[in-house]
A and B are shown apart, each in its own frame.
Chain A
Amino acid sequence: MRLLNRSAGRLSRHRRGPLAGLVVLLLGLLMTGGLYAAFSPASADETASSADQIAKGRELFLVSCSFCHGQNGEGVRSEDGNQIGPSLVGVGAAAVDFQVGTGRMPLAQPGAQAQEKPPTFDDDEVAALAAYVASLGPGPAVPDEGDYSLAGMSDEERQAAITRGGQIFLTNCTACHNFEGSGGAMPRGGYAPRIRGVEPRYIYEALLTGPQNMPNFSNGNLSPDEKRDVIAYLGSLEEMPNYGGFGLGGLGPVPEGLAAWIGGIGICVGFAVWIAAHTTRSNKKKVEA
């Protein structure tokens, strides 16, 4: 009660409390500082944290990557001139984010192609590694969500983007990745991986950096909008119901043929055996032939 009626005994209701000025001053300072921090260009503090991140990335790099890529990311060649690990100067943060973030790097084993596996590093470590490699030379940065999201578009625009993306996909991607992104074979044990259900960021980065056997779809080749549309098309395939029923892996006529032989012919022949085994008889008791 007393708390609520504190002003009752004062001379005026409008008279400020003794601490009001101080509070206003503090609020003003906080807002100014906060806004400055939010809108100012990279501050000295941030530079320091970025430098920290690079340093942390370099440490991780020295432990996990330098054996093949060299202590300064310059790449390592074997004595007979074969490349053990390529130079990472100029591959950019996007390449690191893709290769390390999807678990392809560090390599599970030497082979035709780096295989996807559960990532070794957590997001902060991937970011640190990416920052370090990006510091070696200018290269594509990790894309923002705005680069590959259709947010903010009207329904028609969205649909147009998906349709356009489908055409770009069928022209540029299906030759290796198959008509619905189920993946395909490449020479000598290489393969174009299945790209269904892959995070949009990684698809964008793969397009930008051209990992493994994949060609590099630079922004001059496929504009950022076109990349976004391809990703939107792939996303629309995820949302699309399986109109025809179970998709048999989305690998085309080979699994369909297997299903026809094993399923269809198998069942029909099974029924033929059943029909032939049940022949006519004049009473209910079955007579063994």
Chain B
Amino acid sequence: MDTTKVANTNGTEPAIAAKPSRAGAVASWADDRLGLATMAKKNLRKVFPDHWSFMLGEIALWSFVVLLLTGVFLTLWFTPSMGEVQYNGSYEQLRGIQMSEAYASSLKISFDVRGGLLMRQMHHWSAMLFVASMMVHLLRVWFTGAFRKPRELNWVIGCLLLLLGTLEGFTGYSLPDDLLSGTGIRAADGFIKASPVVGTYMSFLLFGGEFPGESIIPRLYIIHVLLIPGLLLALVGAHMLLLVYHKHTQWPGPGRTEKNVVGFPMLPVYAAKAGGFFFIVFGVTALMGALLSINPVWKYGPYDPSKVTAGSQPDWYMGWPDGALRIMPGIETHIWGVTISWNVMLPILILPVVAFTVLLLLPFIDAWVTGDKRDHHLLYRPRNAPTRSAVMVALMTMYGLFWAAGGNDIIAIRLHASINQITYFLRAAVIVGPVIAFLVTRRWCISLQRKDNETLLHGYETGIIMRSPEGGYTERHLPLDATRAYVLTARDRDPVVDGEVQHEVDGNGVPTPHTGRLSGVRNRLRTLMWSDNVQKPTAEELDAGHHHAEHEHELQTALDGHAADGHQFDGHHLVEDEGLRHH
């Protein structure tokens, strides 16, 4: 009988619970009223898998926090008004000049508010990082297959965040009313006016009259500090809630399945890691804000529609439509006295909308093509979805080329090239480049798959050269360890496709799924998706490969009586007694 749980005294004092600690008392008080303990208990122990690529979205999250903090600071001094004032602040080069209150207060923040310039620059840098990290995060999600069911809606939310982040950036850098931002708003006015029929009406609505008017800065301001941040906050919340609900995806490995998450709990591990990462992102932003000049509004001078500066570019996230605009050939149509300005409409109004729609629909297009209705919580390596990876690389290439076009003048002066030649080159490159990128990436991925199979079947290269009695030289290969082999084989077999339209009904007269008007297209896409992929080796192939390797090993062992197992030189076991060393 186990007596350890039996009282070992006959004392008369009753057991009294110790007085709770002060922290415990506060926690109990709060829990009695808020009832958070149950939820916290569950969520503080929530497990997240560990991988650097899972922290890219976090950069965006923490940049957003930095944006909120620095943005609140800036609102305390910024005056969103087009009212004209004479500047009498510290910046001598502009003293006495008439300018808008918005610009004057931007100068005041930069020169007369303690820490103001640092805050302005931090705000601007973190905005750049915010959008950039969202894009990097998006790429990670696509390349590893984290967009698949059940996460398609989170992809959509992420895309909306990217769009809103971009608009938030545009409204933000338009506020100081300096020469550059005014030029940007002027350009936006032109884009709006390029929409057929309703263009001028929309422009008058937005500007409250003819450009620039008095209304645009206050309107952009309220969009920038209230409307879009509110939407961003709500969508960030939804994004995170869905993340918690779906649970984080993980890389395949021993013990990691579609039904579990292997990793570390929120508290203390991820609270520390994520909290620490916040301070790192904050620190990087602060360093950039302190050391690197960004948008020196004082040098641009107040906006005046009669002025413009060379090197007028939007911030990087608006750069690619600007690039499309720069390389678009000048095409116009005149119908019934109305000018349709294709050269503005196509690159600025149509292209970005099409691009965004395609981005938004990618997971749905993918699901339609693959016909995959299963849940996926295990990621794959980009090479194991060659066509998907190739699609994204093609889109990235197109984006990058449009981006380069947006900086064509800077490229021209830095590389001493002709801006015209750059433009002609890019006109062709934005169409040809993505195609080449698609083909190259797809073949590259397939080759990497082949490499994986090679390693699985014949082992890894040890770097040990064996000489046969005939005098031939071969490199010794050793089988992978089980974990590595598991990781390499932990992927689905791709469906075998023959590219033919499936029969409308099966043998029992039941209509086969996935037939319809587009089934031909769909089947061709399925063929493109999978037909060239390399399947992972079957169990039989693996066995045969291992058997072959063992056999080879034995053959070589017999040669000199020493088992040259390939570990002679890597410190896996002692080799003092082995003859191989002494030769």
Contact = CB atoms under 8 A, between A and B. Distances in A.
Interface of A: 112, 159-160, 162-163, 166-167, 170-171, 174-180, 182-189, 191-192, 233, 236-237, 240, 242-248, 250-261, 263-265, 267-269, 271-273, 275-277, 279-280
State the main secondary structure of chain B at its contact with A.
helix
B117 A243 contact: yes
Contact of A167 (B97, B280, B408, B419): B97
Contact of A174 (B133, B273, B307): B307
A263 B407 CA distance: 19
Given A185-B413, A192-B310, 19 more contacts: A163-B95, A166-B94, A167-B97, A170-B300, A175-B309, A179-B300, A179-B310, A183-B413, A184-B310, A188-B418, A189-B412, A189-B416, A189-B420, A242-B293, A243-B110, A245-B292, A247-B296, A272-B59, A275-B55
Contact of B55 (A187, A251, A276): A276
Nearest to B277: A275
Contacts of B51: 276
B237 to A, nearest CB: 22
A250 B298 CA distance: 13
Interface string B261-289: 00010000100010011001100110010
Interface residues of B, number: 74
Given A269-B136, A277-B52, A191 B412 contact: yes
Contacts, number: 211
B366 interface: no
A108 to B, nearest CB: 12
A244 B117 contact: yes
A170 B94 contact: no
Interface of B: 50-56, 58-59, 92-97, 110-111, 117, 121, 125, 128-129, 132-133, 136, 179-180, 264, 269, 273, 276-277, 280-281, 284-285, 288, 290-296, 298-301, 304, 306-316, 319, 406-410, 412-413, 416-421
A192 B96 CA distance: 30
Contacts of A269: 52, 56, 59, 136
16 contacts: A171-B304, A171-B306, A179-B300, A179-B311, A184-B409, A185-B412, A192-B310, A237-B299, A252-B311, A254-B319, A254-B410, A257-B319, A260-B125, A267-B284, A268-B133, A269-B52
A251 B410 contact: yes
B293 A260 contact: no
B571 to A, nearest CB: 13
Contacts of B307: 170-171, 174-175
- Residue from A167, A233, A237 with most neighbouring chain B CB atoms (10 Å): A167
A128 to B, nearest CB: 32
